[in-house]
Amino acid sequence: MSKLAERSTQELRILRTQARSDYDALQARGLKLDMTRGKPSPEQLDLSLGMLSLPGNGDYITEKGEDARNYGGGPQGLPEARGLLADALGAPVEQILVGNNSSLALMHDCIAFALLKGVPGGRAPWSEERPISFLCPVPGYDRHFAICEEYDIRMIPVPLTGEGPDMQAVERLVAEPHVKGIWCVPQYSNPTGETYSDETVRRLGSMRTAAPDFRLFWDNAYAVHHLSEKHDKVANIFDACIAAGHPDRVFAFASTSKVTFGGAGLGFFAASPTNMRWLIDRMSRRSIGPDKLNQLRHVRFLRDAAGLRALMDRHRALLAPKFAAVDEALGERLQDTGVARWTRPRGGYFVTLDLQVGSARRAVELAKGIGLALTPAGATHPLGRDPDDRTLRIAPTYSALAAVRLAAQGIGLCVFLAAVEALLAKREPEAPRPEEKSPTRSAKAVAKAV
């Protein structure tokens, strides 16, 4: 079977007509499908319904014998709660802080505190060293980029390679003193699904940076979100940094927002003892401490790392068929056409779809026309600007399986139609080839050929 770009102009016109017919049929169904954000489905949330009755009437005493209803207990949160994600974070309990539901809030606070007060090892608050820059692996997480945009931090895109960021580019860029950090989603990265290789982790920990207060913002959001029985495991970034003599380089984050309840989970921060003291000192000015009853609720429900793994196996049973449905539907429409390629992640919450250059926005526009909401084209890049206009992030987790399958079929159709339109737009001014004047194959035959 040949690639779409190798088809004749007349064959492309036939394919456009057929794709338009399929598009009109979907449009007539009045669909209302949303694939914009990676939210847990109601069925996933139901897996944690037992938490709503916990810790239970009269159950409010922690392992240390403290009353979780009251002030006290320390700013780092309950040790038993910190232990739930200690393995995923790769840090001892003593170097972990557990807060309220959002790890994104902890990331935001670390940026804000760095701007106002500086970080250990630095010469001054970051705000006094303007301009400052962050490296942003792309495709990446739009909410990371939004924090930088909010505080006028310059963002420098760095391509991902399938094993993490392009380390030659990273090592070259960190030789500039204005580069203060890099966003990293090291395991099942958002949205590409890749896991950083051991070599990438080693180089991130050992590279020489011109800024003495350079920080890795290590957002290990998907460390326990596996989609197959074979689990990826990212190398320990703390060990890599300590071995290279940079023990304070890492700010690590995680949460249970996609494990239990998105609005009532736990956010985690892990760092060196020096960095931990820095954050606690800053946070102590704005809060006496986190919600310890919610932490106790998580401990009673999850119990330990084994309990966490058992719950995530149940999540995987719900999610894996949805990712398989996306792969199958995209393959039915796009396989061997040469107009798109997509990831088949082993974990995480997203599928990345790479289209022909210049066609992502058109595909999103077409999807909207059939009642299918997609993440805006460009969201995977700083300031919403994908210079190639080619990358889409697909979020198949929230909707029911049948809706996911239908949405993926719609996505495949819109991507295909956008590609055909783009190819014809380049050729239409040209005179048709002689063999195109009398097409002998039907639209159905042509469609099957591609």
Structure confidence by residue, pLDDT tens digits, 250-290:
999 999 999 999 999 999 999 999 999 999 999 999 888 89
Structure confidence by residue, pLDDT tens digits, 27-55:
999 999 999 989 999 999 999 999 999 99
List the domains of the chain with CATH numbers.
Answer: 4-38+310-449 (3.90.1150.10), 54-302 (3.40.640.10)
Contact predicate 78/299, CB 8 Å: yes
Report the alpha-carbon distance of residue 148 to residue 167 in Å, rounded: 21
| Cross-strand pairs, 255 | 267
Say if residue 443's pLDDT is above 50.
no
Report the alpha-carbon distance of residue 173 to residue 230 in Å, rounded: 35
Determine the residue type at 304. D
Which residues make Cβ contacts (< 8 Å) with residue 325, sequence separation at least 6? 396, 401, 404, 405, 408
Which residues make Cβ contacts (< 8 Å) with residue 72, sequence separation at least 6? 66, 289
pLDDT band at 216 (very low <50, low <70, confident <90, very high): very high
Contact predicate 227/319, CB 8 Å: yes
Say if residue 72's pLDDT is above 90.
no
Residue 364 token pair: 């999103």
pLDDT value, residue 448: 47
Q: Tokens 């239990």 appear where?
A: 260
Task: Work out the average pLDDT over 404-430.
Answer: 92
Say if residue 446's pLDDT is above 80.
no
- As a whole number, the mean pLDDT across the chain is 93
Residue 122: Cβ within 10 Å count: 18
Give phi and psi for 447, each to the nearest 5.
Answer: -60, -40
Structure confidence by residue, pLDDT tens digits, 322-368:
999 999 999 999 999 999 999 999 999 999 999 999 999 999 999 99
Residue 68 token pair: 């979780």
Q: How far is CA 382 from CA 35, 149, 254, in A?
A: 21, 8, 22
Give phi and psi for 44, each to the nearest 5.
Answer: -65, -40
Q: How far is CA 181 from CA 73, 169, 188, in A?
A: 32, 14, 20
pLDDT value, residue 73: 82
pLDDT value, residue 124: 96
What sign for the dihedral angle of Cα 192, 197, 199, 203? Answer: positive
- Work out the angle between the directed axes of helices 9-28 and 401-427 (0-180°, nearest 10): 150
Which DSSP state fits 5? G
The DSSP string of 213-245 is T-EEEEE-TTTT-BSSSSPP----HHHHHHHTT
C-alpha angle with apex 118: 145 to 253, nearest 5 degrees?
Answer: 50
Report the alpha-carbon distance of residue 94 to residue 273 in Å, rounded: 8
pLDDT value, residue 428: 77
Element spanning 251, H or E? strand 250-255
Residue 247 token pair: 């023990």
Report the alpha-carbon distance of residue 418 to residue 16 in Å, rounded: 9
Which residues make Cβ contacts (< 8 Å) with residue 97, sequence separation at least 6? 75, 76, 77, 82, 106, 268, 269, 270, 276, 279, 280
Determine the residue type at 104. L
Name which of 348, 337, 328 is nearest 6 in CA terms. 337
Task: Work out the average pLDDT over 186-207.
Answer: 98
Structure confidence by residue, pLDDT tens digits, 372-400:
999 999 999 999 999 999 999 999 999 99
Contact predicate 378/386, CB 8 Å: yes
